[in-house]
Structure 1
Amino acid sequence: MAVAKVPSQQFFIRGEWVAPARGGKIPIICPTTEEQIGQIPAATAEDVDAAVKAARQAFTRNNGKDWSRASGKHRAKILRAIAGKCFDYYADLAEKLDEKQYSPIEVPMEQFKSSVLRETLGVIGLITPGNYPPLMGTWKVAAALAAGCTAVLKPSEVASVTCLELGKIAQDVGLPLGALNIITGLGPEAGAPLSYHPDVDKVSFAGSYNTGRTIMKAAAETVKPVTLELGGKSPLVIFDDVDLDKAVEWAMFGALWTNGQICGATSRVLVQEGIAPAFLKKLAAWTSSIKISNPLEKDCHLGPLVNDTQYQKVKDFVKKLKTKAQLSSVVERGLLIWRKVTFWNRRFSLMSLGNKPPPGLGGAVISKDEGRCKRVAELLDAGIVWINCSQPCFCQAPWGDDPFGWYPASKL
């Protein structure tokens, strides 16, 4: 019996059928006769880029109202229509093939049942940073143990003592031996072996972007899942209807909480242009009043950075910023450190600034109009957005998924 030829094919990109950029073809071989019955187009990087751009544009078009932020009802209507067309197509195809082939086996599906069994994953490697070790350590340990997993916790070498205290508590309450294990050490000697250890089933890490990439690569050696919470440059959006004193206070707190050593610090401040001069004046006054001293001393506002390495990094950032420019309405995104204050006067420019790389783990919006705050919060590409504040954290709530945030969204 002759095998029907497959019609010429093209790519489906942005609702249109298009030919490959380089004209490449891949033959379709019939497995029965081993003869060529058609061709499909062969994609190259140019075609991939066109398809990805189309998908990204569709995701953000009309602020997402076309699809990504459309109602579930709207998406369901379209998906059901697609499903109906698929059924009609294959039902018609089956009728055409009915007298031309026999099914190899018959599978009466009513004889089978399906069930889902949730099981614990196994041993979890937990690697935490030094900016607030008790919170990060307990977050990760609690989630792992509650799920029935066992854990190995490696806190940052610059802030390990409080996490070791967690071991004493576990010992006192009678946690089964080995359910929680705590080791300390440097990343290359302790963190890396934990990441690629063949008997570790998952790795959860919070810390820098570069270290997160290293851990992801190490975990890939044994094809284990990872959860990453990485740093970014989180935006703080300030509208012109605010109480300036409160806005300045939240701007400073959002950027300098834990001495600025925090992944979600809202240090990219976007101020509506009309209030910029007054905001800067109050910001300068507030900054000059900060008392930097030993945190054990009375009235200390700002203590030291965790070590000299971090101190030198901050000095280097400040040096680079000074050599470029002062506060400006023009943002130069090539800098490792953004302008601390950026001005905008149109909503479009606000969202383009707030969502441009480097992305933020979090974000904040300050305005007396709560409805406006919620609308802007929905448009910011961030895992968590604060409204009329910055940095309050509720352990009961999930820490959201975003490009530089949790990967995937999880407390574990």
Structure 2
Amino acid sequence: MASALHHYKLYINGEFRDAEGGRTFRSANPYTGEDWAELAEAQTSDVEAAIDAARDAFENSWWRHDPKGRAKCMLKLADLVEQNRDHIGVIGSRDNGKLVREMTAMANILPGFFRYFGEIADHIFGKVIRATDPAVFGYTLREPYGVVALQTPWNSPLVIFAQGGAPALAAGNTIVLKPSEFASCETAELAKLIDQCGFPPGVINIVTGMGPVVGAALCSSRKVDKIAFTGSPEAGRMVGEQAARALTPTVMELGGKSANMIFADANLEEAIKGVFGGFTASAGQSCVCGSRALVHADVYDTVVARLAEMAGKLKLGDPSDPATDVGPFAVAAQLDKVSNFVEVAKKEGARLVAGGEKPADLKGWFYPPTIFADVDENMTIAQEEVFGPVLSVIKFHDEEEAIRIANNSVYALGAGIWTSDLGRAHRVAARVRAGTVWVNQYRRGDAAFPFGGYGDSGFGRQSGQDSIYEFTTIKCVQINTAI
């Protein structure tokens, strides 16, 4: 007998409400394939109500004028998330198929974002400017944009919300948040905690629903002052086109094809573990998935053999089972997409050393960690984002070649360098096109560090103090002191 559905409503102006006409949609558990939750499906009128609530809160509440009050609310939210992290982790896993322990770990880092930015809410400073005319005294103020629309993807919805939402709130903006329709429940659960934190009604609004309706309404509205979007480059282009018509500035974090480089002098065991985790974590459903392993010729065969051995030992299965290493994909379409990439790689001549076929003994949207060796840097598998646990191992012979191969990509989000040579670490980090470069570690984040990329990986930065600049605009004041 099927269990009862969880029901989630919209959160607008501090109230939980149904969508226009009572419309709903359902969320399926990626592991079982069964519907387990029903969510309000927002219509254009609901989005407009959320935008109006955010505008009213920005213009008429105390929110933007009281940084200490903002900090109090954000710190309260951090405490509540910390207290409910296990529950949030379970809901998140049920929503997108990631391991419960991984989703719980992600929930565990959320409080750090709200504490970090809550603590700097009253430390947002402008500058004093010396003008050419000594009689003119000038200074700048950093002011919030107003209403910020955030759209988050299905793979890591709350962490990505925190990366942009926490600095936006700290700066005094108000928010309308749209999570992916493929994984909205974790965000809807967060609304219950937000409601307990003392935010003025309308400061944070959450609207669940379809991208062509909710996303389009947010992107085309002239009442929205800034857009923060995380998703695929294709979706980013559509968001950018819609925002451009309304002249709304955007910050985007899009795809990635990160190069994880192992030099011959690296601590090989640590490097191999770092590369392995870099492409298998989250079943490869990560924008910073280290899907290209660039390995020096002297250690190439050793690395390939060890990676293949490790891949064969991983257990696929129930995300709630502590023994499971890899869960299912979040959406069914991803299984076909990854399978097609693997078949293309075989046809183009890459050498399959692990995985490569959907497991016959598992129902659901599973695909095993798959490794290709002898990959040419221009093969499809080495150029396009797979968004699954598929690794291309590419051989290089010297530092220059490693840098050239790493930069042979339209993406520029993340990169990894494994070496014991400090000089090489600095040289390569300076020349690799990537918004984040990890040295002797991979796929780690912190609220203090800016995150983003360029090229097809997007533009602008979220997280870190630099994101405060992303969510504020500059006002220049010039005073003639001679009068």
Length-normalised TM-score, structure 1: 0.70
Higher mean C-alpha displacement, 262-271 vs 112-121: 112-121
RMSD: 1.9
2:377: which partner in 1? 331
1:140: which partner in 2? 164
Does 2:142 match 1:118? yes
Q: Secondary structure at the match of 2:150?
A: strand
1:390: which partner in 2? 442
Out of 188, 208, 211, the residue aligned to residue 164 of structure 1 is: 188
Give per-residue Cα distances to partners, 1:246-277, cap 9 Å, x unaligned: 22211111112111111111111100011111
Matches for 1:301-340 after TM superposition, within 5 Å: 301-326=325-350, 327-328=373-374, 330-334=376-380, 336-337=383-384, 340=392
1:181: which partner in 2? 205
Looking at structure 2, the residues matched to 405 and 146 of structure 1 have their Cα atoms a distance apart, in angstroms, of 25
Whether the 8 Å contact between 1:139 and 1:395 is mirrored in structure 2 is yes
Give per-residue Cα distances to partners, 1:25-81, cap 9 Å, x unaligned: xxxxxxxxxxxxxxxxxxxxxxxxxxxxxxxxxxxxxxxxxxxxxxxxxxxxxxxxx
Looking at structure 1, the residues matched to 172 and 271 of structure 2 have their Cα atoms a distance apart, in angstroms, of 44
Name the count of aligned residue pairs. 305
Whether the 8 Å contact between 2:345 and 2:380 is mirrored in structure 1 is no
Q: Which amino acid aligns with 1:408?
A: G
Aligned CA distance change for structure 1 residues 349 and 171 (closer, same or farther; 3 Å): same
Looking at structure 1, the residues matched to 456 and 384 of structure 2 have their Cα atoms a distance apart, in angstroms, of 16
Q: Secondary structure at the match of 2:196?
A: helix
Looking at structure 2, the residues matched to 178 and 345 of structure 1 have their Cα atoms a distance apart, in angstroms, of 57
Looking at structure 2, the residues matched to 111 and 278 of structure 1 have their Cα atoms a distance apart, in angstroms, of 70
Aligned CA distance change for structure 1 residues 243 and 173 (closer, same or farther; 3 Å): same
Higher mean C-alpha displacement, 391-400 vs 124-133: 391-400
Looking at structure 2, the residues matched to 311 and 343 of structure 1 have their Cα atoms a distance apart, in angstroms, of 28
Length-normalised TM-score, structure 2: 0.60
Whether the 8 Å contact between 2:267 and 2:418 is mirrored in structure 1 is no
Out of 242, 249, 261, the residue aligned to residue 237 of structure 1 is: 261
Q: Which has the higher contact order (CA 8 A, sep 6+)?
A: 2
1:224: which partner in 2? 248
- Greater radius of gyration (CA): 1
Does 2:416 match 1:364? yes
Looking at structure 2, the residues matched to 305 and 329 of structure 1 have their Cα atoms a distance apart, in angstroms, of 25
- Shift of residue 169 of structure 1? 1.5
2:300: which partner in 1? 276
Out of 116, 139, 149, the residue aligned to residue 173 of structure 2 is: 149
The runs of 5 or more residues in structure 2 that have no matched partner are 1-131, 351-372, 386-390, 468-483
Looking at structure 1, the residues matched to 453 and 254 of structure 2 have their Cα atoms a distance apart, in angstroms, of 11
Looking at structure 2, the residues matched to 307 and 330 of structure 1 have their Cα atoms a distance apart, in angstroms, of 30
- Shift of residue 152 of structure 1? 0.2
1:193: which partner in 2? 217
The runs of 5 or more residues in structure 1 that have no matched partner are 1-107
Whether the 8 Å contact between 1:321 and 1:337 is mirrored in structure 2 is no
1:377: which partner in 2? 429
Higher mean C-alpha displacement, 300-309 vs 240-249: 240-249
- Shift of residue 330 of structure 1? 3.4
Higher mean C-alpha displacement, 125-134 vs 237-246: 237-246
Looking at structure 2, the residues matched to 180 and 365 of structure 1 have their Cα atoms a distance apart, in angstroms, of 39
Aligned CA distance change for structure 1 residues 291 and 334 (closer, same or farther; 3 Å): closer
Does 2:351 match 1:351? no
Looking at structure 1, the residues matched to 298 and 377 of structure 2 have their Cα atoms a distance apart, in angstroms, of 18
Q: Secondary structure at the match of 1:264?
A: coil
Higher mean C-alpha displacement, 137-146 vs 400-409: 400-409
Q: Which amino acid aligns with 1:187?
A: G
Task: State the percentage of identical aligned residues.
Answer: 32
Matches for 1:29-68 after TM superposition, within 5 Å: none
Out of 319, 323, 336, the residue aligned to residue 299 of structure 1 is: 323
Whether the 8 Å contact between 1:333 and 1:357 is mirrored in structure 2 is no
Aligned CA distance change for structure 1 residues 285 and 177 (closer, same or farther; 3 Å): same
Looking at structure 2, the residues matched to 122 and 310 of structure 1 have their Cα atoms a distance apart, in angstroms, of 36
Looking at structure 2, the residues matched to 325 and 337 of structure 1 have their Cα atoms a distance apart, in angstroms, of 16
2:459: which partner in 1? 407
Whether the 8 Å contact between 1:201 and 1:224 is mirrored in structure 2 is yes
1:209: which partner in 2? 233
Q: Secondary structure at the match of 1:386?
A: strand
Higher mean C-alpha displacement, 363-372 vs 280-289: 363-372
Whether the 8 Å contact between 1:233 and 1:267 is mirrored in structure 2 is yes
Looking at structure 1, the residues matched to 330 and 394 of structure 2 have their Cα atoms a distance apart, in angstroms, of 29
- Shift of residue 239 of structure 1? 0.7
Looking at structure 2, the residues matched to 337 and 213 of structure 1 have their Cα atoms a distance apart, in angstroms, of 17
Looking at structure 1, the residues matched to 457 and 421 of structure 2 have their Cα atoms a distance apart, in angstroms, of 27
